[in-house]
Amino acid sequence: MVHNIKSLVVSNTTLYYRLGYHDLHYDTVHYTQFYLELKTKFVKKYWLWGELVEVPDYQEAFRVNFDIEQPTHTKNELREILERKLELYYREDQIKRGELI
């Protein structure tokens, strides 16, 4: 389950994101995972039985390998990075539909 979801708007598209990290033996690697849609689904509370409960079901879009809330990038640099990642995400979708040109 994904917690601490925040949102921001890039190129008139609302992106939802969460911050995360991986602990390595010698370092900690921070990242930011982005989602396009916040949906919910219903699942059984105890795997095979129990009442149905509503849980979040997010559509992952892309990840950047840094914490966007740290002051290592300016606003313009961050906007350019996210716009480029968003373009590539939409391009992958076009290729899946067969729109090569």
Q: What does the DSSP assignment read for 51-92? A: EEEEEEEEEEEEEESS-TTSTTS-HHHHHHHHHHHHHHHHHH
Confidence of residue 2 (pLDDT cuts 50, 70, 90): low
Q: Answer yes or no: is 1 within a domain.
A: no
**Sequence-distant contacts of 37-40: CB under 8 A, at least 24 apart:** 38/5
pLDDT of residue 39: 82
Q: How far is CA 35 from the centre of its chain?
A: 3
Instruction: Examine the pLDDT at 7 and tell me if it is beyond 70.
Output: yes
18-71 pLDDT, tens digit per residue, is 999 888 888 888 999 999 887 888 888 887 888 998 888 888 899 999 999 999
**Structural domain boundaries, residue 74:** 6-96
Q: Is residue 27 part of a domain?
A: yes
Residue 78 belongs to a domain: yes
pLDDT band at 89 (very low <50, low <70, confident <90, very high): very high
> Is there a contact between 59 and 39 (Cβ–Cβ < 8 Å)?
yes
Report yes or no on 45 lying in a domain.
yes
- On whether residue 77 sits in a domain, the answer given is yes
Q: pTM for the complete prediction?
A: 0.77
Q: How many domains would you assign to the chain?
A: 1
CA dihedral (66, 69, 74, 79) positive or negative: positive
Residue 64 falls within a domain, yes or no? yes
Place of tokens 């690697």: 29
Flag whether pLDDT at 1 surpasses 70: no
